[in-house]
Structures are given as C-alpha cells and as structure tokens.
Structure 1
Amino acid sequence: MELVSIHGEGIAARCCAHLLRAGGVPVSTLRRGRIEASKHRFRARYERKDIELLALVDEAHDTLRGPARQKVLYREFHEFADSKYETLSSISVAHICNLRERREYRERRMTFEKTRPTRISSGELRRPEPEGRAGYLRIDTVHQGNLDGVKGVYHINAVDEVTQWQVVGATERSPEAWLIPGLEASLEQFPFQIRGFHSDNGSEFINHTVAELLNKLLPEQTKSRLRRSNDNGLVETKNGAVIRKHMGFSHIESAHADCINTFYKEHFKPYLNFHRPCGVPELVTNEKGRTKRVYKWYATPLEILRQLPGVARFLRYDITLDDLDRQAGRQTDTGAAIQMQEAKRKLFAGFQLEKTA
C-alpha cells in the first residue's frame, strides 16, 4: 500500500517503514479531500474584521503616522465607547505595521481606495516665545499653482504653536486686497485670544496692512530670521502633512476659493482640531548639550489645549471648554474623518463638473 505522511504544513512521500512509524495515511484518502493537521493552533488575536477595521480607519484619516493612528484606535474605544475597536484599542505601533502587510488589509484598501481627483519691514526678527501659552500663531500660504495663465487658489495656513490648533482658509489672490479678508476670517475661528503672529519674510504678511490688522488685535508680530529654516518649521510641516496631503498639488482655479472655505470651516477644521491626533514635542538635551525633539505623546489639539494650566484665561470671552467638548463629542474620530472625506470628494467633483461644462 502506497502511503504519504503529513508533517506540519507539507506533504512528504516516504517509504512504507517510515510511514508506519510516523503514522502514515493512504494516498486514496488524500485524493478524497484535504486532511487538516492535528497540530493545535492558537486563536489569532486580530481577526479579519479587526484588520478590515484598521484599513477603514487608515482610509478615513488618509493613513496617519503610526502613533497618531494608535491614538485614534484608543480613543474610538475609550473615549467614544465603540465596542468594535476593543481589540485594536491596545495594539502597538509596531503591530499596526505588521497588520498593514496582511492580505486582508491590502484587499480592503484596494477595494475601497477611491481614485484621487486630479488635484515694509514690520515685525520683529526673532522666534516667538509662547512659554506654554496658547495664542501664538505660525502663518504661511500655500499656492495651488497656475495653469495656462489661470491663477490658482491660495491657502492660508494658521497653526497655534503650543496646542497645534489649526485653521485653514482659502483666498483667490495673494495680494493684500484679497489676503486680508481671508486672514481676518481665519483668525476669528480660533477659540482663544491671539497673542502672537509669526510668518516668514514673505511680502504678503510683512507689510503695513497686516501690521494695522494686528494692531487691532494687539498681538506681537515676529518674522523668521535669515538662514534659520526652523523658525517657521511647524506651519511648513503642516503645509505638507495636511494641506498638500488633502488638497494635492494639482491646479485648482482661484474662483473655487469660496467653496473651499465652506469645506474648511464646516468639515476640515472640526476634523483637524477635535479628531486628528498630533505629535506633541518634548525637548530633550543629551550629555553633549544638544537639544532634540522627541514625540512621546500624541493628542488632538483640543486635548492639548485642555491640559494647559489656567486654560480658561486663554479662551475668548464667548467660548468655554464645555462648548468645545460638546462639539468634539458629536462624532467619533473615524466618523468625522469619513464625513470629511465625503465632503472633500463632493468638492473635487464640483471642480471637475465645471471643467467639463
């Protein structure tokens, strides 16, 4: 009788004597169907539904960095009490990377990944010194490019240095007549008093008109020093990680500035400040006296704001922490991300309709 022995995953042909000692199986039995190994297998901690849920979170948040993604999963279960995330809420950053290599993850992302739409010297020359206080803003503009002589929209990116609270606006042109209304609208959306305004040496911000606007708000104005690229590093990082990531590099006509502003105010700003974790830098000095930033804590801008000592004195007179908490609690992190992505798809679809009209 011809016998075949099964060891682990493979099937190896052996002589009869060896098969009898090892416990062989007739070939005819194999032909009738697959024989499962009797080896005990432990239940996998992360099942297919968990991996697909991770893929859904990555799709909604446009694949955040590992620690930020870990924070979202933790908050979905512990902050918003969504039982689907119970297993993933304690996952490590390293194992998130492992699960992203799994076939189930790749199938989910491949199935649901949508095709992306074609997308006068004023101010003191120094770094701002917020000293742990909210209200010191970093400002920059991002241009969406020109095409065939048609001007592209300008994005105004404003980020608070301490809390990383971020407000993005859009304007049709960079010159003062167009920029100032957009800048005013952006500054009014911050929940705390504006104490400082820092930009690079670009003429759009370093001029008398901006200085007059800031004099009304009574903040200090500073600008980046020459050959000190890190002076405005925070907002420049957000230019790429937030604006370019979501709005892309392709040309968008300046005429769409109003539609973009509506999207920013109603969907993008709540997502960024209530539901998107950021890395909180901690300055560490080594034995050689060199200082570097390490990121041990990830939190949303609202969580960072809430942790500030005496936070109530930073807020505007018409806003309280309870107001902000109520806004943040209306949706889960991933629910807000999905809604934001849907609004963004409709926004870009509107651009395409006007092009083909």
Structure 2
Amino acid sequence: MRLTGISGTKAGPLLRTSITVRKAGDEHEQVPGFCEIDLVLHCGPTLKGEFARTLTVTDVHTGWTENIALKNGAHRWVLEAMPIIEARLPFRLTGIDSDNGGEFINEALIGWAGERDLFFTRSRPYHSNDNAHVEQKNGDVVRRHAFHYRYDTPTELRLLNELYALVRVRLNLFTATTKAIGYRVNRNGKNVRVYDQPRTPYQRVIDSGVLTAEKATELARMFDAVNPADLTRDIIAIQTRLIHLAAAKTAAISAGTSRAKPGEARTHLSRAS
C-alpha cells in the first residue's frame, strides 16, 4: 500500500468549550491577518517513538503560508514557533483558528494569543473542511515538498527548516492560485463554485493595502533578487538529501509494520488519513 499521512490529533477537552467554534461556510475574512494553523506528522508508517512535525500557518484572505519544522508534538514547540511565524508574516496577525488538538488547545497558547489580543477559534471535531485553507496546504506544500518519510533526527529537522525557508519564497512570491469567491447556478440548475483570477499571495497582499511602506519595499526587493530557477534547484538539492537520509529508513519501518500481528496492522491502518 502507498504510504499516506497519519493523524495524531488528540483532543484537549478541558479548554475546548471555552473557545469559539468556527465552521466551514462561515463568512470569509476580508483583510489579511486571520490564519488557520495545523500540524503535519513526519512519522512514516507508525506513530511510535519521537519524530518531527511541521507547523503550517495559512492566512485565510491571501493564502500566504508559513511553515516551520518542530522537534516533536509538545505544545512548548508550537508556543516557541508562533512568534517566529508572526515575525515572518508581512502583515499583522489578528487571529488564529486551529483543530482540537492538545498542542493548540492549551493554556499556554491561549494565554499567548490573549496577550496579543488575537481572536482564537477552533474547528468542529472530525470536520476537516472547517480548516480547509490550511488542510489544503498540508498536502500541496508539506507533503509535496517533504514527502511522507519519517524524520526523527536533528539533521533531518534542520534540513526541513532549510527547505521551508526556500519554499516560502517560491510559494508566496511566485506561485499563483485561485480563490473561491462564491457560487453560481449552471445551466443544469446546480450550484458550482466561482473562482477569481490566479494571483500569488504576494499580489493579494499588495492588493489588500495593509502593507507598510517598509514592508512593501522589503518584499519588492526580495522579489527582484530571487531567481526562481535557482530557487527550485536549491529546493531539489535539499529534497534529495532528505530522501537519502529517510527513504530507506522509512521503507524498513514500513516493512516491519506490515509484518505486525493482524490486529496491530489494522490499528495502524485505521489511523491513516
């Protein structure tokens, strides 16, 4: 079977009822700043042991996306990563929306958000469409660039963050995407999505009018200085190193998992998403 991602979300029930629920279909944000956040596991075929995670943060209005690799799933790493992400965003962070995992639903992160007067909302359990913007980036950005291998060493963690430093530039400055802006009725009477014209997150941020003069100048200089072809070659070089480090290891773990007892195998497969 082809290796797929595994969900490791464990609910944080004690604080969950105190956080506003945000559902799919709620009105879209009209300015940058409100972001969806999620964790992607780099566990390979099993959740056993310690392994890296990727924190993905996606702005709902512009699609601007930041990623940072974390040592493991302890909420302390999420708490340390969020100020770094906040500093990288070209606009002010105004709110965050997460799933119900304990790495997000905890007093430390809620306190951090409260100190900055950020909106903090959560999705409904088992409704991934509530976090559709970041869930899409988990596949299009994280799995596309970092694959499904198991990363559990300091070297692999460092390479992941070097990779994301390059990916963020190509994704946000040079990768155009469309955005759903409503529905229309087709000739068969069915409601279908309507999308706007393709634009990069950088263009959407510029069009929003929220950038300071200093930040606009900084992004323009970055855009002019980057050669997309060189950027892609550097990304491929890091990906090649990650494959060299993790592919055989992941295959060996996968082979061992497939030889597990039938009940154990079913347990692992049931967690696949």
Equivalent residue for 1:326, pick from 196, 216, 221: 221
* Residue equivalent to 1:190: 89
Aligned residues: 231
CA contact (8 A) 1:191 1:319 kept: no
* Residue equivalent to 2:144: 245
The answer for unaligned runs of 5 or more in structure 1 is 1-119
- Name whichever of 282-291 and 160-169 sits farther off: 282-291
User: Alpha-carbon deviation of 1:331?
Assistant: 2.4
Q: Does 1:220 align with 2:119?
A: yes
Equivalent residue for 1:209, pick from 80, 85, 108: 108
Q: Does 1:283 align with 2:178?
A: no
Q: Does 1:135 align with 2:33?
A: yes
**C-alpha separation in 2, matches of 1:168 and 1:217:** 21
Give a deviation string over 1:298-356, Cα, whole Å, max 9, x none.
Answer: 12110111112x323xx5xx94212101101112434422332223334544668999x
Q: Does 1:303 align with 2:188?
A: no
* Residue equivalent to 1:338: 233
Q: 1:167 corresponds to which letter in structure 2?
A: E
Please list, as runs of the form range in 1=range in 2, the aligned pairs for 1:266-277 lying within 5 A after superposition.
267-277=166-176
Equivalent residue for 2:157, pick from 252, 257, 263: 257
- The structure whose Rg is larger is 1
**C-alpha separation in 2, matches of 1:292 and 1:200:** 27
**C-alpha separation in 2, matches of 1:292 and 1:322:** 39
- Name whichever of 135-144 and 343-352 sits farther off: 343-352
CA contact (8 A) 2:182 2:195 kept: no
User: Alpha-carbon deviation of 1:280?
Assistant: 2.2
Q: 2:164 corresponds to which letter in structure 1?
A: Y
CA contact (8 A) 2:91 2:210 kept: no
**C-alpha separation in 2, matches of 1:238 and 1:151:** 24
The answer for unaligned runs of 5 or more in structure 2 is 1-14, 251-273
Change (3 A) 1:321 1:125: same
User: Alpha-carbon deviation of 1:133?
Assistant: 0.4
**C-alpha separation in 2, matches of 1:140 and 1:154:** 10
CA contact (8 A) 2:146 2:160 kept: no
**C-alpha separation in 1, matches of 2:47 and 2:132:** 32
Structure number with higher relative contact order (C-alpha < 8 Å, ≥ 6 residues apart):
2
CA contact (8 A) 2:149 2:246 kept: no
Change (3 A) 1:327 1:201: same
Change (3 A) 1:237 1:352: closer
Q: 1:251 corresponds to which letter in structure 2?
A: R
**C-alpha separation in 2, matches of 1:286 and 1:202:** 38
Secondary structure at 1:298 match in 2? coil
Over aligned residue pairs, what C-alpha RMSD do you find?
3.0
**C-alpha separation in 2, matches of 1:192 and 1:143:** 28
**C-alpha separation in 2, matches of 1:306 and 1:148:** 41
* Residue equivalent to 2:21: 125
**C-alpha separation in 1, matches of 2:184 and 2:249:** 54
Change (3 A) 1:131 1:251: closer
Overall identity of the aligned pairs, in %: 23
CA contact (8 A) 1:130 1:136 kept: no
